[in-house]
Amino acid sequence: MDEKSEISKKLLPIMDTMELLSGRWKIIIMTTLYLGGRMRFNEIKRSIPRITGRVLSKDLKFLEQHDIVSRTVKDTSPITVEYELTEYGRTLDPVFKELTHWGIKHRKKIIGLG
Amino acid sequence: MDEKSEISKKLLPIMDTMELLSGRWKIIIMTTLYLGGRMRFNEIKRSIPRITGRVLSKDLKFLEQHDIVSRTVKDTSPITVEYELTEYGRTLDPVFKELTHWGIKHRKKIIGLG
DNA sequence: TATACCGGTTACTTTAAGGATACTTAATTG
DNA sequence: CAATTAAGTATCCTTAAAGTAACCGGTATA
């Protein structure tokens, strides 16, 4: 195997994961649902300062399509829609744990330097 | 502590880490250096199809400023510049391992469905 | 009657990241 | 002498993501 295909082989799964994490709001939405459990559209919106309905809607749809988040329409009046992390979405937990762990050490390093 | 500041507390380190990983090329550059060890600017460039010198230069500078990559000018003629992951850069390894691990399972799931 | 909330969608504008290309200085090769 | 390599920089352009704001049908409240 040449150098470039070895790089590709290493990169592909990393890029696959990153596709789900990248963007300004996706991680914030996932963390919000992780902490908040089952939440309605406007609950999520109110929990995340400055997010717009357009982006929240778009990102939730994306996450639903990738089976990270589930969407349930409740037959109330007016209807409400509940979102929560799927079981599969929760398998991202170790990823978030590592991101968190490294971030905490990184912040300590930066503050230590400052 | 209210809901929003709890979310912020969880998010901050994640966002700190993501800052270093986000963008189209940073992860590719880091993976290339991880596999290739010490490399010159144009070696890196040739290893990464379609990257432009402008972006490679910019991203390497960013990574150097964050102590992920070291830059060494060699007194050859013409001068050459070598880049490699710093010891600190290599502490990102567990992060990449998790991203890889999840990505492999994710790909299997997607192929399984298709 | 009208005002607000529910969960969105549509159309338009702005911003940031990245791409394309030319250029730089100094040395080397043919 | 002309072309090439090295490691970039400068300038302009394109694109994709996100922001802004208006609007939708349906329901409920004052």
The more confident residue out of A4 and B70 is B70
Contact A41/B at CB under 8 A = no
Report the pLDDT value the prediction gives residue A40, as an integer from 0 to 100: 98
Mean pLDDT to the nearest integer, B5-10: 83
- Give chain A positions within 8 Å (CB) of B2: none
Mean pLDDT to the nearest integer, A19-25: 97
The pLDDT of residue B21 is above 60: yes
Q: What domains, with CATH codes, occur in chain A? A: 3-113 (1.10.10.10)
DSSP per position, A36-64:
H-SEEHHHHHHHSTT--HHHHHHHHHHHH
The pLDDT of residue B1 is above 60: no
Report the pLDDT value the prediction gives residue B5, as an integer from 0 to 100: 74
Question: B40-59: per-residue pLDDT in tens?
Answer: 999 999 999 999 999 999 99
What's the rounded Cα separation, in Å, for the pair A33 and A86? 10
Q: Is the peptide bond before A13 cis (omega within 30 degrees of 0)?
A: no
- Give chain A positions within 8 Å (CB) of B49: 4
Test A98 with B95 for CB contact under 8 angstroms: yes
Report the pLDDT value the prediction gives residue B7, as an integer from 0 to 100: 78
Report the pLDDT value the prediction gives residue A73, as an integer from 0 to 100: 97
Test A103 with B15 for CB contact under 8 angstroms: yes
- Give chain A positions within 8 Å (CB) of B92: 102
Average pLDDT, chain B: 94
pLDDT band at A2 (very low <50, low <70, confident <90, very high): low
Query: Best of B5, B86, B98, B108 to disrupt the A interface by mutation (most A CBs within 10 Å)?
Result: B98
Contact B31/A at CB under 8 A = yes
Secondary element (H or E) of residue A19: helix A3-21
Among B99, B29, B70, B13, residue whose Cα is nearest residue A102: B13
The owner of tokens 């990983």 is B21
Residues whose CB is less than 8 angstroms from the CB of residue A25 and which lie 6 or more positions away in sequence, other chains included: A48, A51, A55, A56, A59
Contact B102/A at CB under 8 A = yes
Contact A88/B at CB under 8 A = yes
pLDDT band at A105 (very low <50, low <70, confident <90, very high): very high
Test B94 with A91 for CB contact under 8 angstroms: no
Q: In what order do the strands lie in the sheet with A80-85?
A: A39-40, A80-85, A69-74
Report the pLDDT value the prediction gives residue A71, as an integer from 0 to 100: 98
Question: A45-104: per-residue pLDDT in tens?
Answer: 999 999 999 999 999 999 999 999 999 999 998 899 999 999 999 999 999 999 999 999
What's the rounded Cα separation, in Å, for the pair B88 and B69? 8
Report the pLDDT value the prediction gives residue A4, as an integer from 0 to 100: 67
The more confident residue out of B105 and B114 is B105
3-state DSSP call for residue B75?
Answer: coil
Contact B108/A at CB under 8 A = no
Test A36 with B12 for CB contact under 8 angstroms: no
Structure tokens at A63: 């996450």
Of B22, B35, B100, the CB nearest to A14: B100
Alpha helices in B1-114 (DSSP H): 3-21, 26-36, 41-47, 53-65, 87-90, 93-113
- For A15, A18, A58, A85, the CA distances from A61, given in Å and listed in that order, are 20, 17, 5, 13
